[in-house]
Structure 1
């Protein structure tokens, strides 16, 4: 480096250190910007307002947009029917809070009315045009009238009948030219009277009720200093009930008035900035208390009410950015924020003083703070910024940058007790003295041995000593600049360091020196006689703690920044009390610097954001680039504190942080159910977008219900969180994090209470918002269907019960009949056997008795088998019946030389019959066959089973014997017995017989 170059740098440094600018004060601000890249549908913003629900409405050159802090809803000619408006260029919007409506004025064709509850366009009113170039410009509402200003004059719409009425005439003749008739601004004062600003005539004040003219302000009285015979009024603001300010293309104008409209006009109201009295003013807005914001002359100003003092808002921008704040076309305030309608989009400026002022780019010089590595605040609050390749001086008064070096990496910059600046580069330590930058050994020879050492940290002890940490793994240096000696401490000295690597050094309240290294911390006592190393190895669960970058004391504890691990809290015995990590609320575990704030809080820089930790409450508030930081990424040992402000550098510049202004946002977001969509199984969807929705009926053919909600929080919309619950299912709240949607599937029919609540970035929760959901039952889930099913069930059970009772009775009857049979048949047979047995024993000629006994036993056995067959369930069909009849009849017929024939019609053999049927049919057949053997004297007996009438069973037993006269035998016991048995099973019995022609007995089911 040449001597001339060094001299030049020295001069610049001295100027930075010793001079102050007398330029007007600029307030460094950060503007939150929303352009087309953020989702805004258009640029060139005409107007911004906020409705009573908290939504922002933006009128632009390409339509209207509703903004909830996160998403934009456009209203254009191409939008869907419910969001469609006629013109692309929206000039004015007014809210009608009584009717929950928004009046939207495009430049042509139609006025639109939008329901602010559901966001739908509900009415369109055609606006008359007086000529092809009759474009609408402005609008104001008063009483029941809308006053519309256009290029061709005044139009008044009565909002009761939605009819246009003739505008009032003015006292003086108004030249009917486009310029004279043009109305760019209409104001309404607090007395409900209307000020119509004609570009080529002046201002005419009308009674808002009667529409009669009250008074006028002619152009000549309004300060037409350019002599153009036109003054275009762009905007106005009411300062109080009796004072109004107009922003015109020829400067600012003030009008005082009373209730009688005696006017006092002040054409040069700005006291200390006359250019605003003459230059074009685009927008103006009163901000309570005692503040007026003015956009004009390429700047944004903040004045007091008297317009006697002001500051200029200076926007911090990036290299490729322009200053939006200098080109604001409209201004809106909602109390704590200022919204700017700019040519590039909308910008939000917090009305309260921001805790952050960021520095990155100087648009005048083109200089920028590329990757800051060190920082030093000079007396007067000018800033020396050491970069990875250069050094820049930031002037506090006008925020301008001066480049002092473009070639070197500056690791560390500090001032000694005499405000002498020391700068550490790779080549060693430099000092500014006698208007030149010189190596330190040229002024302090004791540094000759250490002239190539690079310094990364320092502490000043007393009035003569500086302790410095080295960047090149050489331990620490203690320099007494009054006694002119330098002493080095490392791993081989006494006391020794645990490591020669130094990341940072710190001197605690007890005078102990803490040397922070990668793996270990060395603590040296105040007399520099004893050292102790801390590596936390003994604390088994924290053995991996390393990369110690910074330390501070607060609340009686030490707090250590461990990169990648978070914050280590240790007590005065150097034992770990707590490890604070990202899961505890820390913005990132890659922490760099940590500062004690009023012994109650910590301010922590990291690789992803800034954290403010309340020690007592043990909670965090985190800040990011959208909060006003220069970047989310800070840098190691690139932060310092000066006059209670933190100066923190890193990627893309630095941020000056005022901790006293880091206030907690206690206002929770405004919560609404935004869209409720019910998907049906027929492919159709039901959508509700009303913000007032309280009850949601869900039809029975639903598949899924999606409920989206929004917590409006313009301060930090990305950090809004949500919880919800369905009270009838779970009383506990379900964390939905940042997700603004819940899906409901498969709820059984019932009435449910859904509650949603939202929290801001500081954890302040809103009151729950309730939605009553009524899930309608399907047809088979209705109470009527269930009642019918109960009744049907009762009927079925009752019928089954009756059937079972009937079956039991039948079984009882069968058992009774079988018992009777056993008693009558088997009992009689056994009694006969007993008698014949007795006779056989008494008589010598007993062969006949024994024969009778054999016959009786055989008959009894057959009877028992028949009874068992009747009770057997597996043999209840026609085939088994016929088989049983054959077993009975065949032996007897063969013994009597009688031919026995039988037949079953095809298909009937497997037909089932009940126990009662098979018993009685068998007994009827046996009775009939016995009669054939006893009385018929027949040669053939024939049994035929065939279908009867209506395909029912018919059993026919016939013989070719003697026959009989039915009239004579009808009262016989055998025939009556067969008839009785047929009636038991609901059968009919028919007799067909005559003497000499045989007998046929037919039994068939009724």
Structure 2
């Protein structure tokens, strides 16, 4: 961006430094000033002229085109610029451009307006449009007229939005523009603007000014003949109405127009603006291109004028910070009023002579670049009575004899007296100095104190003597620093020791112990409140005050963390308001105390757009009459400190967009009551899956090179504000259900924090946290628990029934068998006693068979009860062992097949017992009674049921003729007991097939 400071080249007011002077000398100087008052009257008038620092924004900074039609600042603080190539939004750092791809009906934008509902309206060469989010929406007119120009959009006191076009005036109503009839005969004419007054509505047509009274009557205030300069811009300010033509500015009254400003040479263009100081800005284009600025409240008296180097000025505006903005032919121009004057600039012939600037006791400035001296006397550079060869002055002191003592870089002791610079270096030859550290004037003894190398000396024009230092305080070459506190107290800082007071008897009293190995400078005269400042290399400033014991205590510190542009302080001075001016290699800062009593930093050089790569080569000085002087390698600034007010305007901060969900869906109100033209929804409710939230925000600052930091908090998660950072977005992940309020604030450098921008949203609870879902789950668990309980009870009943059956079987079968064994045992005993050998052997055989049968049944019961045998493969294996065992004896071929898909099916104990015993009995019958040659047993799955099939090729039987015995009845009972279906197919000579179907649950 292009930057120019408009400088009025006039003599400067050079002031005297702080030291007190004899009364007689002061009286003589005042008389001399009074005598010269007349001669400097013209200069004084020029000095009142204001200076402005300018910044020009063009396509290089992001504008879509250099030419700017109009300019506007909205309620948020954004600067809008209408151009022939679209619309631009500016936040002080970057431009956001809109064109027809964003919905603009035309690229040529002539006016911008934001209403009380924060809706943004633009007027283009093809009608009006409203910005919603990132797109413009165009509303139709009720008469279908083709609009080629919109001169103004504004809001009436009743909240209606009016648009003034080349084909008439329209009112926005219910998503369309309604044509208004304001003045008879002018229904389709161009009314450039209207303002509301106590008398009615003042209408500005190109050829007339009309008052439309509240009783619907009209009054022609002024009419111009065709061809005369047309009426252009109608403005209301301070309860008065003004209008301009191409050459003049008028006040509008009911009885006519009153001329205020008339520029006969402005034949082509005329524009005007009234700022917050009630100054009139007017620009003209014709034989002369100039921007004129009046004095406050007196528009006929010109205070300043600036060359209109940027061509035609199409619009003028003042932002909230007091900057003046102009829409010009060559770009967007920003003007900042300055409180300083650049004595020299790079294009002057005195480049590079300000490396050393020394304020003399006379109020003049002695300049040097190390090769030559120049004296700045009332704005004029002089070389007379000065040595031909110059040197850089590092330290200065003022005595009571109206002379200035100076110590130079090349170890020279100089004295400025009576307009001459005298060399007194020979007074120090006996000490063979290598370098000077500091000097002060001891007013109590009338002596000059100097630290050189590692010694301290005192003296005057007659000679110098060494002041002995205690041996424990001296350890080789040191950078000792002299300074003075209030009441003429002389201070000496000794590195790695501390700060001492030099007492009248030349003894030393410790004020502050400081053993650190750091380079330190002392600015004790910088504090009008008695404070002493210590500049620590690379660590900023520390402030100390005297305590009750007369020693020093640390009360505050200021560094880059608090807003200083750099931590290396090269010089420091105090103005009459007790504010401290601090110069670092990065620029000039101003320290002032806020309401809380803490030092606040204002980056003066940065805010004023002052740039230099040699701030570290100069110094800042304060004279006795309120001026601050700041030097760099090629410039010297004179700052009117009294006019520098610390009403630092905080930046604005705006929430621009909210995104939700992992996919980053942008939340928009879609014109249903969103927050301004960003179209942010009002406290949206988001589903739980959208609990990742990203928020974009922007700070608005119109200083040069703003350094905006943001601090935010998300309530109720954050109780305190986060540490400031430059990030302009923040993302929150995996937010829990609940209501949230996001707050963000911003600051530019060390300026105060802005007002807070907020947005609220709600994360809905997930389904599993809803009351109905929780109730359903509890009900389901209860039902499930009940079913499980019922199932367990059923199992226990079945188990009990099984146990009962087993007991019954044991009692019936085993008991009967045991009883038979007992009877046969008794019978066998009798038979043996009766020597019935054959009968006894038969009885013993019966006992043996009964015992084997009982053991077999016990084995079956034990196998059934064992839970390890619950799968189908184990059942199949046991049946196979049994079948092979009895079929082999009769040479019967057996085939047993188990499908792999049912091998691991688990069977209950009840099913296991009944299936096993059912088919054991069936196999036993087939082997013993069917006379079969082969036996097939297959197990598989059929229609989600277990299918057991036993086939033999024996004689079979007729089911109708055969009376069911115990075997068949037992088989049917076992099938019924486990809920299975039993089918027996048999016929004489056809074999037998037994099929069992069991449903698996």
Pairwise same-fold verdict (TM > 0.5): yes
Partner SS state of residue 709, structure 1: strand
Unaligned runs of 5+ in 2: 1-10, 17-28, 670-676
Query: How far did 1:113 drift?
Result: 3.5
Query: How far did 1:825 drift?
Result: 1.7
1:72 aligns to what?
95
Matching of residue 566 in structure 1 with residue 544 in structure 2:
no
1:86 aligns to what?
107
2:340 aligns to what?
357
Partner SS state of residue 80, structure 1: helix
Partner SS state of residue 616, structure 2: strand
Matching of residue 612 in structure 1 with residue 585 in structure 2:
no
> In 2, are the aligned partners of 1:604 and 1:612 still within 8 Å (CA)?
yes
Distance verdict in 2 for CA 1:943–1:981, change over 3 Å: farther
Choose the corresponding residue for 1:376, options 352, 356, 359: 359
> In 1, are the aligned partners of 2:454 and 2:476 still within 8 Å (CA)?
no
- Once residues 298 and 528 of structure 1 are traced to their aligned partners in structure 2, the CA distance between those partners, rounded to angstroms, is 68
Query: How far did 1:847 drift?
Result: 5.3
> In 2, are the aligned partners of 1:236 and 1:283 still within 8 Å (CA)?
no
Distance verdict in 2 for CA 1:659–1:798, change over 3 Å: farther
> In 1, are the aligned partners of 2:658 and 2:666 still within 8 Å (CA)?
no
- Once residues 407 and 803 of structure 1 are traced to their aligned partners in structure 2, the CA distance between those partners, rounded to angstroms, is 114
2:965 aligns to what?
972
Distance verdict in 2 for CA 1:423–1:111, change over 3 Å: farther
> In 1, are the aligned partners of 2:434 and 2:453 still within 8 Å (CA)?
no
Unaligned runs of 5+ in 1: 1-10, 149-153, 171-181, 221-228, 269-275, 315-321
Give TM-score scaled by structure 2 length. Answer: 0.74
Distance verdict in 2 for CA 1:550–1:189, change over 3 Å: same
> In 2, are the aligned partners of 1:432 and 1:438 still within 8 Å (CA)?
yes
1:902 aligns to what?
894
Partner SS state of residue 610, structure 2: coil
> In 1, are the aligned partners of 2:374 and 2:382 still within 8 Å (CA)?
yes
Distance verdict in 2 for CA 1:529–1:393, change over 3 Å: closer
Query: How far did 1:59 drift?
Result: 3.8
1:304 aligns to what?
296
Q: What is the CA deviation profile of residues 45-94 of structure 1, one whole-angstrom value per residue up to 9, with x for unaligned ones?
A: 45433233433223456554222333322345xx532356332xx55555
- Once residues 368 and 127 of structure 1 are traced to their aligned partners in structure 2, the CA distance between those partners, rounded to angstroms, is 66
> In 1, are the aligned partners of 2:443 and 2:488 still within 8 Å (CA)?
no
- Once residues 333 and 309 of structure 1 are traced to their aligned partners in structure 2, the CA distance between those partners, rounded to angstroms, is 21
Query: How far did 1:582 drift?
Result: 3.5
- Once residues 417 and 854 of structure 1 are traced to their aligned partners in structure 2, the CA distance between those partners, rounded to angstroms, is 147
- Once residues 874 and 261 of structure 2 are traced to their aligned partners in structure 1, the CA distance between those partners, rounded to angstroms, is 127
- Once residues 618 and 493 of structure 2 are traced to their aligned partners in structure 1, the CA distance between those partners, rounded to angstroms, is 12
- Once residues 887 and 349 of structure 1 are traced to their aligned partners in structure 2, the CA distance between those partners, rounded to angstroms, is 109
Aligned residues: 915
Matching of residue 508 in structure 1 with residue 485 in structure 2:
yes
Distance verdict in 2 for CA 1:26–1:91, change over 3 Å: farther
> In 1, are the aligned partners of 2:692 and 2:732 still within 8 Å (CA)?
yes
1:734 aligns to what?
722
Matching of residue 122 in structure 1 with residue 107 in structure 2:
no
2:657 aligns to what?
675
- Over aligned residues, Cα RMSD in angstroms? 5.4
Choose the corresponding residue for 1:52, options 65, 72, 75: 75
2:607 aligns to what?
627
Distance verdict in 2 for CA 1:307–1:116, change over 3 Å: farther
Distance verdict in 2 for CA 1:51–1:964, change over 3 Å: closer
- Once residues 15 and 617 of structure 1 are traced to their aligned partners in structure 2, the CA distance between those partners, rounded to angstroms, is 31
Partner SS state of residue 854, structure 1: helix
Q: Which moved more, 1:561-570 or 1:726-735?
A: 726-735
Choose the corresponding residue for 2:620, options 639, 645, 657: 639
- Once residues 124 and 419 of structure 1 are traced to their aligned partners in structure 2, the CA distance between those partners, rounded to angstroms, is 81
Matching of residue 205 in structure 1 with residue 201 in structure 2:
no
Choose the corresponding residue for 2:697, options 709, 713, 716: 709
Choose the corresponding residue for 1:104, options 120, 123, 127: 123
> In 2, are the aligned partners of 1:708 and 1:742 still within 8 Å (CA)?
yes
- Once residues 462 and 769 of structure 2 are traced to their aligned partners in structure 1, the CA distance between those partners, rounded to angstroms, is 95
Choose the corresponding residue for 2:443, options 462, 483, 508: 462
> In 2, are the aligned partners of 1:498 and 1:533 still within 8 Å (CA)?
no
- Once residues 1003 and 839 of structure 1 are traced to their aligned partners in structure 2, the CA distance between those partners, rounded to angstroms, is 44
Distance verdict in 2 for CA 1:665–1:831, change over 3 Å: farther
Distance verdict in 2 for CA 1:986–1:464, change over 3 Å: closer
Q: What is the CA deviation profile of residues 435-456 of structure 1, one whole-angstrom value per residue up to 9, with x for unaligned ones?
A: 6x54334xx9867879999867
2:519 aligns to what?
546
Distance verdict in 2 for CA 1:294–1:825, change over 3 Å: same
Choose the corresponding residue for 2:865, options 864, 871, 874: 871
2:851 aligns to what?
857
Distance verdict in 2 for CA 1:364–1:755, change over 3 Å: closer
Query: How far did 1:637 drift?
Result: 7.6
Give TM-score scaled by structure 1 length. Answer: 0.74
Structure 2 matches for 1:804-953, cutoff 5 A? 804-837=792-825, 844=833, 850-876=844-870, 880-881=874-875, 884-885=878-879, 898-905=890-897, 907=899, 910=903, 912=905, 914=907, 915-928=909-922, 936=929, 943-946=935-938, 953=947
> In 2, are the aligned partners of 1:519 and 1:535 still within 8 Å (CA)?
no
